[in-house]
């Protein structure tokens, strides 16, 4: 029982809306099965394809200002959950069918991919936590400078310190150690050894996944062996494995997009995306993929730890603030070594 919009009754319109392989199969099957039953399941499956396509078109309709912002990412996740819910409904009604070959293998594969996706989500959580740490530094800067009253030199200094901490926090772990040493000298710290230990952990992205975990490898494994079903396979499963394939691809894309947007351990975007345009959702999904990939290649975003627009905003803001603060002259004789 499809929970999506109501379908048009005429079968002629199906071939324009639906997935062409399914339509082909329907003609073959008509003679074998009771037409009423075959159509009901087919309606459901085609509705699912239509849903996925519609949602992805919505996502792809965002302009470049909206793409990869936090609201857009949230929309991406909502789309994913919505599609997954539909998928769940479809699958749930066919529980008995799923235990037998060949569906059992496809479902098993999907399950394994989902678990890998869960690990990605756990890693992303760490990235979000890291962004929250940056937010704290921004709070300090705001607290120091966003004042109706006079701002003393000390508060400027405080903001500067927070900016440096922020910049270090946004760096790669390897680059941060030298940066830390500079920072400590300018802020008069006595024990550099200690600082490195605590700062390193502070930025650790290994709270939720093991130290050796790699987002790039995980995505690779998630997308491994993902091939569109062949016509004979489709017939053997009454089109159900097409739904599974679609769901798997959506999962892969969403996970990839999350890794692209949010900092995570060993972030890599090389996952290969190629899917036949016969699938209605292929066009918007591949277009989004291309746009995100392009973003990652831009000069000022190549080394970003995450492609979220907000992260870029923070970087730009920090740079701007830094210049602003450095340009402030103080007339009073300052004590050195402060």
Q: Which residues bind other proteins (CB under 8 A)?
A: 1, 89, 92-93, 95, 112, 115-116, 118-119, 122, 125, 129, 133, 136, 139-140, 143, 147, 149-155, 157-158, 161, 187-191, 194, 197-198, 201-202, 206-210, 213, 218, 330-332, 334-335, 338
Contact 71, 78 (CB under 8 A): no
Q: In this complex, which beta carbon is closest to other proteins, that of residue 17 or of residue 221? A: 221
Which tokens in the block code for residue 327?
């340009």
Q: Pick between residue 48 and residue 281 the one whose CB is nearest to other proteins.
A: 48
Using the CB atoms, write b or e for 32-67: b if 16+ within 10 Å: eeeeeebbebbbbbbbbbbbbbbbbeebbebeeeeb
Nearest to 21 by CA among 226, 224, 191, 238: 238
- Taking the complex as a whole, the smallest distance from the CB of residue 114 to other proteins amounts, in Å, to 9
Nearer to other proteins, 89 or 179 (CB): 89
DSSP 272: -
Token reading at 255: 């996970």
Render 198-223 in DSSP notation, one character per residue. HHHHHT-S-SSS-TT--HHHHHHHHT
Q: Which is nearer to other proteins, 209 or 307 (CB)?
A: 209
Q: How far is the CB of 199 from other proteins (least distance, A)?
A: 9
Q: What is the C-alpha to C-alpha distance for residues 205 and 210, in angstroms, rounded to an integer?
A: 9
Give the residue with the Cβ less far from other proteins, 35 or 338. 338
Question: Least distance to other proteins from the beta carbon of 296, Å?
Answer: 25
Q: How far is the CB of 41 from other proteins (least distance, A)?
A: 15
CB of 117 to other proteins, least distance (A): 9
Least separation in angstroms between residue 300's CB and other proteins is: 28
Please list, in sequence order, all residues whose beta carbon lies within 8 angstroms of the beta carbon of residue 146, skipping any fewer than 6 positions away.
none
User: 32 or 332, CB closer to other proteins?
Assistant: 332
**Dist CA 90 CA 289 (whole Å):** 27
């Amino acid at each position: 029982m499809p929970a999506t919009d109501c379908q048009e009754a005429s079968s002629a319109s199906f071939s324009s809306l639906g997935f062409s392989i399914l339509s082909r199969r329907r003609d073959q099957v008509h003679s074998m099965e009771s037409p009423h039953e075959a159509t009901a399941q087919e309606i459901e499956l085609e509705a699912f394809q239509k849903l996925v396509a519609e949602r992805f078109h919505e996502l792809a309709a965002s302009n470049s200002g909206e793409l990869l912002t936090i609201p857009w990412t949230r929309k991406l996740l909502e789309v994913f959950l919505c599609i997954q819910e539909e998928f769940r409904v479809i699958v749930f009604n066919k529980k008995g069918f799923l235990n037998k070959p060949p569906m059992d293998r496809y479902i098993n594969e999907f399950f394994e991919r989902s678990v890998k996706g869960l690990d990605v989500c756990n890693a992303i959580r760490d990235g979000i936590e890291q962004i929250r740490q940056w937010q704290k530094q921004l709070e300090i800067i705001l607290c120091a400078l966003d004042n109706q009253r006079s701002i003393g030199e000390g508060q400027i200094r405080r903001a500067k310190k927070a900016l440096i901490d922020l910049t270090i926090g946004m760096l790669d772990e390897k680059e941060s150690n030298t940066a830390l040493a500079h920072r400590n000298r300018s802020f008069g710290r006595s024990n550099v050894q200690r600082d490195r230990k605590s700062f390193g952990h502070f930025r650790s992205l290994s709270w939720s996944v093991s130290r050796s975990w790699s987002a790039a490898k995980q995505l690779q494994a998630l997308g491994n062996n993902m091939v569109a079903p062949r016509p004979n396979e489709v017939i053997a499963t009454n089109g159900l494995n097409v739904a599974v394939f679609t769901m798997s691809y959506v999962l892969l894309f969403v996970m990839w997009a999350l890794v692209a947007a949010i900092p995570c351990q060993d972030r890599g975007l090389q996952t290969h995306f190629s899917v036949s345009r016969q699938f209605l959702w292929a066009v918007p999904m591949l277009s989004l993929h291309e746009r995100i990939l392009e973003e990652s290649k831009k000069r000022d975003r190549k080394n970003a730890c995450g492609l979220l627009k907000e992260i870029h905003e923070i970087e730009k803001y920090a740079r701007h603030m830094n210049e602003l603060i450095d340009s402030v002259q103080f007339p009073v004789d300052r004590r050195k070594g402060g």
